Amino acid sequence: MGRKDLQKKGYLYDPERFADLVNGVVCAGRQVLAAEDLTELDSQAGQFSIAAYDEIVGGGSENTRDDVSGDGTGREQNDGSGGSTGESTRRDDINRGHGRNRNIRETKRANRKDRRRDLLRRAAFGVNFMVIGIENQEDTNYLMPLRCMSYDTAEYEKQAAQIRRKVRKSKKVTNAEFLSGFAKDSRLHPCVTIVLYYGEDCWDGSTSLREILDLEGIPPELRAEVNDYKIHLCEVRKFENTEVFKTDVKQVFDCLRYAKEPEKLYQLVANDPAYQAMDPDTYEAIVEYTGMNELMKVKEYGEDGKVDMNEIAKGLIEMGRRDGIERGVGQGMIKAITELLEDFGQIPQRVLDLIQNQDDPATLSRWLKSAAKAENLAEFEQNM
């Protein structure tokens, strides 16, 4: 896990922010989830592991108690010795099944692929609960629906494995329940994964499993039966209604949205008192998410340990103006170079691309001098 993921995980690790994020992004601001409803879960609980699958299916068909009585009923019979022959047979069958498949399971465990979530919490709702995961994305992941499905499937597998252990120990389950490792009235707790995308470009990947399936030529009757799996995607930089947030998650989302517009960012900071007394971890999250690392150099703490972003926002505006001037000068030099070279004839496309894609002022200045002195295009290209 990279430094950025750790920063994000650290910021949203706070239960107040985690609950606020879920309420704002998923519930449109409705206060459905409270911080005290959340319980921390190890992110490994969401790993996809063949070992978890093995725990569910056990030894496969060997872990059965079909006709353990020998009378075709599948029910246990007592042999008068104080124990049941069915119970003994069942244990023997399980032991034989584990023995035959031990090597296979060990090989699978050695080759398993860990799928760790960035954040995982259990949210209580009365006597019930659900599992909520958060995934942070800097770039588009074109397999995100499959990735989220594997996370959620692994969570369900983990729950099923826990149920299986209880069912297999019970003497009051039916044959079908024992074989399934799941009683008729057993239930899994729901799981959802929220994908937070911080990229500057729009997410151009899929948001459902069907979008990455090649269904061309598949008869419509069969195509309609293919199950879908949708992801809950939040494009943070495009999220406009930040009033749904009740914590400083609002300030983080707003700063990301206006990171490339310093004038608007300053107006935002100047009119919102929250920016004048910001928690240091919120400030650092903004710096990390926006990539504006220069802000760390000018961070100043007040007497209360908070950070005031007013002066910092002014600095951003000045930096933005300087960048604009530099870009304007650069574009002017590019235009002058191309006009000088056009006197020699048509500029080769490869040379034109190099000139137009160059953003270093020193290089452009050197090329401008070279274009003014060159006798022909070949000479200029040689001196580039």
pLDDT tens digits, one per residue of 75-112: 344 444 444 444 455 545 555 555 555 555 555 554 45
CA count, 13 A, side-chain hemisphere, 150: 17
Cβ-proximal residues to 297 (8 Å cutoff; 6+ apart), any chain: none
Backbone phi, psi, residue 67, to 5° = 50, 40
Quote the CA–CA distance of 252 and 237 in Å, as a whole number. 10
| CA dihedral for 51, 189, 209, 184, sign (positive or negative) | positive
pLDDT band, residue 234 (cuts 50/70/90): very high
Q: What angle do CA 266, 270, 276 make, to 5 degrees?
A: 110
Helix-strand-coil split of the chain, %, nearest 5: 55, 10, 35
In this predicted structure, what is the pLDDT of residue 83? 45
Q: Averaging pLDDT over each range in 106-120, 187-201, 312-326, which range is the top one? A: 187-201
To 10 degrees, the CA torsion angle through 224, 226, 227, 233?
-90
Backbone phi, psi, residue 197, to 5° = -105, 120
Could you tell me what percent of the chain has a pLDDT over 70?
68
119-125 and 128-137: which strand pairing? antiparallel
Quote the CA–CA distance of 131 and 274 in Å, as a whole number. 31
Quote the CA–CA distance of 211 and 312 in Å, as a whole number. 43
Other residues' Cβ atoms within 10 Å of the Cβ of residue 101: 18
pLDDT band, residue 225 (cuts 50/70/90): very high
Lowest mean pLDDT among 165-174, 238-247, 282-291, 375-384: 282-291
Asked whether residue 7 carries a pLDDT value surpassing 60, the answer given is: no
Tens digit of each residue's pLDDT (9 = 90 or more) over 335-384 = 888 888 888 888 888 888 888 888 777 888 788 878 888 888 888 888 88
- The pair of structure tokens assigned to 11 is 């910021």
Q: Flag whether the pTM goes above 0.75.
A: no
Average pLDDT, stretch 227-252? 94
Tens digit of each residue's pLDDT (9 = 90 or more) over 40-89 = 887 664 444 444 444 444 444 444 444 333 344 343 444 444 444 444 55
In this predicted structure, what is the pLDDT of residue 289? 75
Tens digit of each residue's pLDDT (9 = 90 or more) over 127-146 = 999 999 999 998 999 999 99
E-only strand ranges, the chain = 38-40, 119-125, 128-137, 191-197, 232-235
In this predicted structure, what is the pLDDT of residue 30? 95
Domain limits of the chain? Answer: 3-49+113-235, 257-308, 324-382
Stronger pLDDT, 365 or 193, i.e. the higher one: 193
Instruction: Please state, rounded to an integer, the average pLDDT across all residues of the chain.
Output: 78
Asked whether residue 194 carries a pLDDT value surpassing 80, the answer given is: yes
Quote the CA–CA distance of 333 and 312 in Å, as a whole number. 32
* Largest pairwise CA distance in the chain: 111
In this predicted structure, what is the pLDDT of residue 6? 43
Pick from 156, 109, 151: nearest CA to 133: 151
In this predicted structure, what is the pLDDT of residue 60? 42
Asked whether residue 183 carries a pLDDT value surpassing 90, the answer given is: yes
